[in-house]
């Protein structure tokens, strides 16, 4: 997620581009699947008419508190305290069967990173939590206390693309036999002792923290689950816009949009006129967009963002 705290406010990455990609209809029903602190939602609301509706999702209790304050002021806003993979079920509970657009700003938000107590960042020595929803589920510390070495290695390798994953996993298991790993500082120091080389300007613990966070929150599985739900909920002409922040997320989004924007392959022996072929459910809108150099200079955390947009076909 792309919100940057600055002078008490929030700057949202690719704000105008993402909302423009939705092609907001004044009387439409829209979903902000990752409310955060409401940057995208407020811009969508500014383009909605009095009959429009905006359903906002978030796991984070703090984000939900902000969303509920907005909903109290604006009756067009409906708030769901759930991960976005509950999209279809939650919309049905609200009596909504179809939507005109859905926006997903993936990953973690800057307020979550910058709050030491959440345990997302190695910049602070804090409890090793890493849950986006602190009211449910297993914390990172709890998982590291019981996970097998092979499981830790696979998580760090697969979700962090960390080449020293096996050595890190072994060090974690050895360390916890002497003392539980309960703080971000402990984990960061342990990883730094194992990872001897790293890309310039990157902390040795970066990939490990990313991997454990993605695993604890089931982030990639949620993306895989929500994309077909969103596509199936869209009306003809409705838009799906997704902002991703690292290659694992973007790969899922890119492959999904490409797969469903191409005609279904036919066997070689099939003789079918092009006009009679079943048309794909999606149409790609433009090319992938990235932040401008000016936006990256103002907000370095925006540098890896990629926006992809697709439209539901008739």
Q: In the sheet that 306-312 helps form, which strands lie side by side, from edge to edge? A: 77-80, 53-57, 29-32, 99-105, 234-244, 306-312, 282-284
Q: Is residue 202 part of an annotated ligand binding site? A: no
**Residues 263-278: b if buried by 16+ CB within 10 A, e if exposed:** eeeeeeeeeeeeeeee
Q: Give the whole-angstrom CA distance, residue 30 versus residue 40.
A: 11
Task: Tell me the two tokens of residue 84.
Answer: 């976005």
Map residue 73 onto helix, strand or coil.
helix
Residue holding tokens 């990455």? 13
Query: Is 250 flagged in the annotation as binding?
Result: no
Residue 176 to residue 191: CA distance in whole angstroms: 13
Beta-bridge partner residues of 241: 103, 309
- Residue 112 in marked binding region: yes
Helices 165-178 and 149-160 pack at an angle, to 10 degrees, of 140
Residue 95 backbone phi and psi in degrees, to 5? 80, 20
39 annotated as ligand-binding: yes
Phi, psi for 230 (deg, rounded to 5): -60, -45
Please check if 58 is assigned to a binding site: yes
Beta strand segments in the chain, E: 3-6, 9-12, 29-32, 53-57, 77-80, 99-105, 234-244, 282-284, 306-312
Binding site: what residues are annotated?
Answer: 38-40, 58, 84, 105, 112
Binding site for S-adenosyl-L-methionine: what residues are annotated?
Answer: 38-40, 58, 84, 105, 112
């Amino acid at each position: 997620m792309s919100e940057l705290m600055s002078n008490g406010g929030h700057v949202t990455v690719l704000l105008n581009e993402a909302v423009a990609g939705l092609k907001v209809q004044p009387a439409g029903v829209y979903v902000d699947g990752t409310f955060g602190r409401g940057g995208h939602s407020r811009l969508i609301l500014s383009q909605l008419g009095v009959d429009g509706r905006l359903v906002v999702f978030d796991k984070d209790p703090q984000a939900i508190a902000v969303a509920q304050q907005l909903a109290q002021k604006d009756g067009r806003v409906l708030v769901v305290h759930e991960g976005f993979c509950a999209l279809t079920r939650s919309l049905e509970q609200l009596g909504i069967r179809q939507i005109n657009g859905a926006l997903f700003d993936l990953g973690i938000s800057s307020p979550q990173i910058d709050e030491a107590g959440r345990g997302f960042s190695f910049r602070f020595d804090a409890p090793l939590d890493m849950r986006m929803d602190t009211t449910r589920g297993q914390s990172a510390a709890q998982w590291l206390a019981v996970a097998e070495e092979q499981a830790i290695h696979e998580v760090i390798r697969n979700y962090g693309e960390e080449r020293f994953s096996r050595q890190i996993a072994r060090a974690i298991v050895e360390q916890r036999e002497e003392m539980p790993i309960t703080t971000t500082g402990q984990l960061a120091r342990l990883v730094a002792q194992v990872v001897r080389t790293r890309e310039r300007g990157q902390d040795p613990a970066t990939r490990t923290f990313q991997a454990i966070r993605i695993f604890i929150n089931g982030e990639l599985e949620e993306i895989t689950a929500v994309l077909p739900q969103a596509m199936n909920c869209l009306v003809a002409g409705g838009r799906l816009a997704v902002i991703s922040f690292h290659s694992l997320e973007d790969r899922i989004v890119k492959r999904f949009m490409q797969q469903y924007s191409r005609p279904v392959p036919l066997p070689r022996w099939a003789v079918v006129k092009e006009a009679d072929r079943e048309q794909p459910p999606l149409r790609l809108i433009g090319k992938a967009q990235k932040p401008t150099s000016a936006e990256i200079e103002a907000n370095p955390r925006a540098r890896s963002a990629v926006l992809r947009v697709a439209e539901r076909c008739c």
